[in-house]
Structure 1
Amino acid sequence: MIDAPPLAPVPPTLPARLVAEAAGTFLLVFALVGAATSTAVFPDERNTLGIGLLGVALTLGLVVMIGASAFGPVSGGHFNPAVTIGLAVAGRLRWSDVVPYVVAQMTGGTAGAAVLVLIAGVGPANAMRRTLGGGFASNGFDEQSPGGSTLLAVALAETIATAVFVTVILRVTGPRGSAVPAPVVIGSTLTILLLTLIPISNASLNPARSFATAVFAGPDWLAQWWAFLVFPVLGGAVAGAAGRIGRRSRAGDATTALDAPPA
């Protein structure tokens, strides 16, 4: 009897990938914003600062590691429209998947923020004020920036940081991979970038995360969301274009080397 060849693995369907993206983005926003609005400032007689900015940055890094490990095998673990668009520009994702992915991410992220608001609404008398006070960890510029940064400063910071982030993703998930597991590298990168950007813009790098909080924080915050859509997406697209050019360049070098006559 001749053994049948092993069946090729069936790739996840689009609905399965969208559920994974929504779940991962829900987890990201629920953990990050929950930490920023509650445990980061939760006071007691020994620790008046709570977990602080370092704790918030570590929370995002860890939750991205977890989300990428749990949902990455299904959807790629983007959880961020800027990442999705960057990968599409780089030729690593079909353009037909971009809009469904972004809708899933926006839905999951907003649901994560809504659950935090719901929990606050049925909590102690001051829970809602503590949760929504100060903008619900929303992103902003000028008077709504934690450090009073201008729109130009925020634009540069968000564009450059997102470009760095997407470049790291493209490198560690590319054909050459990384000696360190990709989720660890990606999560660590986000931790470092958050520590840099929190005082400037409250660190977006993710339009879905920004919308999820702004929609509950109120019209003043929602009016500035456009900046945290445009500049992270711009950074992701720049990184994706650079990655595509670099891949073509490497492919051309390989072709030249193969076609060259022996020395």
Structure 2
Amino acid sequence: MNNIRALWAELFGTFWLVFGGCGSAVFAAAFPELGIGFAGVSLAFGLTVLTMAYAVGHVSGGHFNPAVTVGLWAGGRFPAKDILPYVAAQVVGGVLAAFVLLYLLQGQAGWVPKGNWLAANGYGDFSPGHFSMAAGFVAEVLLTCFFLLIIMGSTHKLAPMGAAPIAIGLALTLIHLISIPITNTSVNPARSTGPALIMGGWAIKQLLLFWIAPLIGGALGGWIYRTLICED
């Protein structure tokens, strides 16, 4: 992977995912009269991936997620030597998006940080539904695993042409509908890292789970698809 444009594509794609997904949670969902709720936030995350997959997927493959990059490597679709630069670009994109969200939040008259003000991922007392760390870990592994199965299958050469971004975006929407109450939904370490670094405190302390679980789930999903379902 010698094309720097691919890294820019991953940075901007991940920026859009965090800005659009977390932004819908911290802005629109924060006002009850708008009524988007969990369903609206879930759809927003799905739409960010769908739109950027069409926009820059042909440049970088449209990962926007370290767990996807690792999962595609485990599935035999991505070279190991390119994992680190992709992950670095994704994390930078996620952190920049979180900084922009912070700037916008500070533009509201009388704003003070309270609660989970940047839609960070958490478990226990910081889970929206107060789910345990064990429940959060299992949910993140399982959902990321199935996310990779869907990505591997929908991007296979025998799959319907041009439909992969739709399947992947809808899959991410479904994943959020399931797991926002459990962990606020990560399945993406870059998405988790941006808000956690800005918020600090408990979000930083719990961040490790949202790296370990999605990476395990992603690698497992890629390996299962390649080994048990469909050999490329």
TM-score, scaled to structure 2: 0.95
CA distance in 1, matches of 2:45, 2:116: 20
CA distance in 1, matches of 2:12, 2:158: 29
CA distance in 2, matches of 1:156, 1:135: 25
Partner in structure 2 of residue 109 of structure 1? 94
User: Could you report, residue by residue, the CA deviation over 1:119-162 in whole angstroms, capped at 9, with x for unpaired residues?
Assistant: 22233222x53xx6324111111111111111110111000000
Higher mean displacement: 17-26 or 175-184: 175-184
| Counterpart check, 1:227 vs 2:217 | no
CA distance in 2, matches of 1:157, 1:31: 23
CA distance in 2, matches of 1:116, 1:250: 42
CA distance in 2, matches of 1:195, 1:154: 14
CA distance in 1, matches of 2:108, 2:174: 33
| Counterpart check, 1:79 vs 2:64 | yes
Of the three residues 57, 79, 90, the one matched with 1:94 is 79
SS of the residue corresponding to residue 195 of structure 1 reads: helix
**Which ranges in structure 1 are unaligned for 5 or more consecutive residues?**
1-11, 252-263
Partner in structure 2 of residue 4 of structure 1? none
Following superposition of structure 1 onto structure 2, how do residues 51-62 of structure 1 map, counting pairs within 5 Å? 51-62=36-47
CA distance in 2, matches of 1:180, 1:58: 20
Partner in structure 2 of residue 159 of structure 1? 141
Partner in structure 1 of residue 186 of structure 2? 204
Following superposition of structure 1 onto structure 2, how do residues 162-241 of structure 1 map, counting pairs within 5 Å? 162-178=144-160, 181-241=163-223
Of the three residues 12, 19, 32, the one matched with 1:30 is 19
CA distance in 1, matches of 2:150, 2:133: 26
Partner in structure 2 of residue 121 of structure 1? 106
User: Could you report, residue by residue, the CA deviation over 1:143-184 in whole angstroms, capped at 9, with x for unpaired residues?
Assistant: 111111111101110000000001100000012113671100
CA contact (8 A) 1:135 1:221 kept: no
CA distance in 1, matches of 2:209, 2:79: 26
Cα-Cα RMSD: 1.7
CA distance in 1, matches of 2:110, 2:194: 23
| Counterpart check, 1:143 vs 2:125 | yes
Structure with the larger RCO, 1 or 2 (CA within 8 Å, 6+ apart): 2
* Pairwise CA distance, 1:250: 4.6
**Which ranges in structure 2 are unaligned for 5 or more consecutive residues?**
none
TM-score, scaled to structure 1: 0.84
CA contact (8 A) 1:20 1:71 kept: yes
Runs of 4+ displaced beyond 4 Å: none
State the number of aligned residues: 232
User: Could you report, residue by residue, the CA deviation over 1:10-45 in whole angstroms, capped at 9, with x for unpaired residues?
Assistant: xx84311000000000001011111001101214xx
Following superposition of structure 1 onto structure 2, how do residues 240-251 of structure 1 map, counting pairs within 5 Å? 240-246=222-228, 250=231
1:144 partner letter: F
CA contact (8 A) 1:41 1:51 kept: no
CA distance in 1, matches of 2:152, 2:160: 11
1:75 partner letter: S
CA distance in 2, matches of 1:37, 1:250: 42
Identity %: 41
SS of the residue corresponding to residue 208 of structure 2 reads: helix
* Pairwise CA distance, 1:103: 0.2
Bigger CA radius of gyration: 1
CA contact (8 A) 1:29 1:109 kept: yes
Partner in structure 2 of residue 64 of structure 1? 49
Partner in structure 2 of residue 16 of structure 1? 5
